[in-house]
Amino acid sequence: MSRPQGGDDEFNALALRLFTHQFRHNLAFQRYCRQQGKTARTVKHWRDIPAVPINAFKDLTLSCVPPEHCERVFMTSGTTRIDSKGRHYHPHLRVYDHSMKLHFAERFMRGMKRLRMGILFPTEDMMPNSSLAHYLGLALDGFGADGSSYFIGPQGMDTERLCETLTQVQRDGEPYALLGASYSFVHLMDALQQQGLAFSLPPGSRLFDTGGFKGQSREMATDEFYRQLSANFGVPASACINMYGMTELSTQFYDDGNATQPAIKSGPHWIRSRTVDPITGQDVPAGERGVLAHCDLANFNSVTTILTEDVGVAVDGGFLLLGRAQGAQAKGCSMAMDAFLQAAKA
């Protein structure tokens, strides 16, 4: 991770080493691979590593070491299946943390060592199984300047204290960063509208959102969401950065702002993405919509390659995220999940 950006051959070699390790030690994954006719001897390229549907993390233990030996387990929010939550086991967090810090410094901090930050999400103590709570804790501890603070506690969002802080930030003229779940920003903007408030944060300020709305707030079209962020906080859409990540991954994707939508998402050199037909697992033709599959070398303990339920289009420099799979693509994801369960539980 810390070396200059690696090439395709180096990525492929590392992905195959991890595949061999996970094939040997992750038995549920091994059974699925054998059903697919894929083994450590036959897989010669990272694109041929079987992609595991993300819902498998809800039904099976996907770990190369016993779960009781893991330092942390991150759990999904459970918004799509309330009866179960996906679990991603981490023997330690050194790789996850290193991945986050390196890429966050490049894509969000953009050369700045520290920024005063406001976090619109609960603390890690409040949500110990949340990968996002851990992620934002890393952001504040590693990159937050004096005066950084959380603004969501056990009683909810402290809008009054946050408005006092933003008023002070306007007066002081130092750049400021607000980071949180997309739905937290919706609640904040609704509260500001009720009070007739708006702010103009100093030049160099930036906003960070992630996760979508997940039924936690009213839904908003993407362009309207970023238009309102700019109007409420005086930050141009080009400085409104969205992070695309998930519990089942150990690496995140970012865009370079949202002046235009959909914005291109991209990751660091230790993660690669494909757009696939979820039934066949094969890449769709260039320029066509497919379901996103990601191969993340930081996922050393679970599986490197996951099949999401997100639709995207591959473009130069990354991919466009177009929403959740529906219709035939959603059915294809469901069929892929059924095939995985049948093999893994055989």
- For the cut 80, the answer to whether the pLDDT of residue 5 exceeds it is no
- With cut-offs at 50, 70 and 90, classify the pLDDT of residue 157: very high
User: What are the residues whose beta carbons fall under 8 Å from the beta carbon of 257, sequence distance 6 or more?
Assistant: 236, 237, 238, 239, 240, 241, 263
d(CA 325, CA 176): 36
- With cut-offs at 50, 70 and 90, classify the pLDDT of residue 78: low
Residues 246-251, mean pLDDT to the nearest whole number:
97
Q: Is 117 helix (H, G, I), strand (E, B) or coil?
A: strand
- For the cut 60, the answer to whether the pLDDT of residue 94 exceeds it is yes
Instruction: Determine whether 287 is exposed, middle or buried from the number of CB atoms within 10 Å of its CB (0-12, 13-18, 19+).
Output: exposed
d(CA 58, CA 87): 6
Arithmetic mean of pLDDT over the chain = 94
- With cut-offs at 50, 70 and 90, classify the pLDDT of residue 2: confident
Tens digit of pLDDT for each residue in 162-213? 999 999 999 999 999 999 999 999 999 999 999 999 999 999 999 999 998 7
Residues 243-264, mean pLDDT to the nearest whole number:
96
- Decide if 3 contacts 30 (C-beta within 8 A): no
* pTM for the full predicted model: 0.94
b/e per residue 251-275 (b: at least 16 CB within 10 A) = bbbbbbbbeeebbbbbbbbbbbbbb
- For the cut 90, the answer to whether the pLDDT of residue 214 exceeds it is no
